[in-house]
Amino acid sequence: MIWKNSQKYYSNISQHLSHAYFQSRALEYFSEKYSFSKSHFEEIDWGVLQHSMDIMHPSKRQWMSKYVSQSLLIVRNMVRRTQWTHPYCPRCKNFEETHSHIIQCQHPQSQSLYREFIASLSDWMTSQQTPNEMALELLQLITEWQQYGHLLPTTYRFTNPIQQQIRIGWNHFMEGRINIAFTSYMQDHYDRLKIKRTGRKWTSLLIVKIWNMLYWPQWMNLNEFVHNLNTEAIQTRKREEMEITAHSLYRSEESI
């Protein structure tokens, strides 16, 4: 028997000890990386996030872990390793390719995938009988984040779960670190309608939906864009890279 958070546990002791250890490590990591306070950490539904990871395909689960820890082999990291000549996004060529830019890129192919995702997410929320007000707010804020890289200032008062999430940060929402208020809000909603569904499953599936239908397709499209090129496209890409490199050198000389 062990005690954890004022509760007794008689079985799966090794699992509870492991979760307690990695929870403290996670708090340390996010506190350092995102200035995460302990109160914000405790407002995240880590159990739902873990369940979402568990039901993901192993390859996608591994990829998402690399994305969250910012260890994917993107252009920005390749420049640091001197394996690439410039930090600009291979698709739009306008911005440095960071992990978040993979999802927020405004290239036509990226935007086409994003529109497919929004339509799919809207249909899914309807099928899950998500309250209309919250569904519309989610679609609006996800679109703002994708288009502008942040949420736009507003005096509009959102539903409580979204208000709580905005206070923590929308990047956390997109990466599955969702406020516990979503689960309880949806559970109350289902209970009122006498629907045999759970708020926990809704939140878990929402995370998986975002990862499977937004993050993963954007990554696959980026890789296809970079690697699957015909001869003419390769020559064009090389000329573009040379122009970007020359432009960067010119700007550097101007600043000296």
How far apart are alpha carbons 130 and 135 in whole angstroms?
Answer: 6
Indicate if the pLDDT at residue 86 is higher than 90: no
Query: pTM for this structure?
Result: 0.79
Within 10 angstroms of residue 189's Cβ, the number of other Cβ atoms is: 17
How far apart are alpha carbons 226 and 134 in whole angstroms?
Answer: 37
Q: Tens digits of per-residue pLDDT, 19-71?
A: 555 566 666 766 676 667 778 888 999 999 989 999 999 999 999 988 888 87
Determine the distance from the C-alpha atom of residue 165 to the mean position of all C-alpha atoms in its chain, rounded to a whole number.
14
How far apart are alpha carbons 80 and 85 in whole angstroms?
Answer: 10
Q: Tens digits of per-residue pLDDT, 93-111?
A: 887 788 889 999 999 999 9
The string of DSSP letters for the chain reads -EEETTEEE-S-HHHHHHHHHHHHHHHHHHHHHH---HHHHHHB-HHHHHHHHHHS-HHHHHHHHHHHTT-S--HHHHHHTTSSS--B-TTT-SSB--HHHHHH--SHHHHHHHHHHHHHHHHHHHHTT--HHHHHHHHHHHHHHHHHSSPPP------HHHHHHHHH-HHHHHTT--BTHHHHHHHHHHHHHT-S--HHHHHHHHHHHHIIIIIHHHHHHHHHHHHS--HHHHHHHHHHHHHHHHHHHHHHHHH-
Query: CA gyration radius for the chain?
Result: 21
Q: Tens digits of per-residue pLDDT, 165-199?
A: 999 999 999 999 999 999 999 999 999 999 999 99
Name the token pair of 147.
Answer: 């288009």
Q: Report CA-CA distances (Å) from 208 to 36, 56, 61.
A: 23, 7, 10
Please give the pLDDT value at position 123.
Answer: 97
Please give the pLDDT value at position 226.
Answer: 76
The residue with greater pLDDT, 205 or 222, is 205
Contact in structure between 186 and 203 (CB atoms under 8 Å):
yes
